[in-house]
Amino acid sequence: MLFMAEMTVKIPASLDPQLVEQLKADEKAMSQRLQREGKWRHLWRVVGQYANVSIFDVGDNDELHTLLTMLPLYPYMEIKVTPLAQHGSAIAPN
């Protein structure tokens, strides 16, 4: 199943800078692993924001929920998820 996730990161200014850098490094490693596994199919930066638009390809809602809540920056994210379906006018399959 394909899902679009719009993620905005809001890290509190009071958070320890070393912790923030470690969380970012862990987040990068996890996102790249999930991309190599084919679960995180697309990842785009939203210009001018600490935000992204991503496309996930997972088995079901529960798998996506588990994946998102495992992200190191999850406690500092606002996430909007939209399920996707093939459009009848698309010339290429998902």
**pLDDT tens, position by position, 33-83:** 999 999 999 999 999 999 999 999 999 999 999 999 999 999 999 999 999
2-84: CATH class: alpha beta
92 pLDDT band (50/70/90 cuts)?
Answer: confident
> What residues does each domain of the chain span?
2-84
pLDDT for position 94: 64
- Give the chain's largest Cα–Cα span: 49
Q: For the full predicted model, state whether its pTM sits above 0.75.
A: yes
Q: What is the pLDDT of residues 16-30, one digit of tens each?
A: 999 999 999 999 999
> Can you tell me the mean pLDDT for 79-94?
89
pLDDT for position 61: 97
pLDDT for position 6: 98
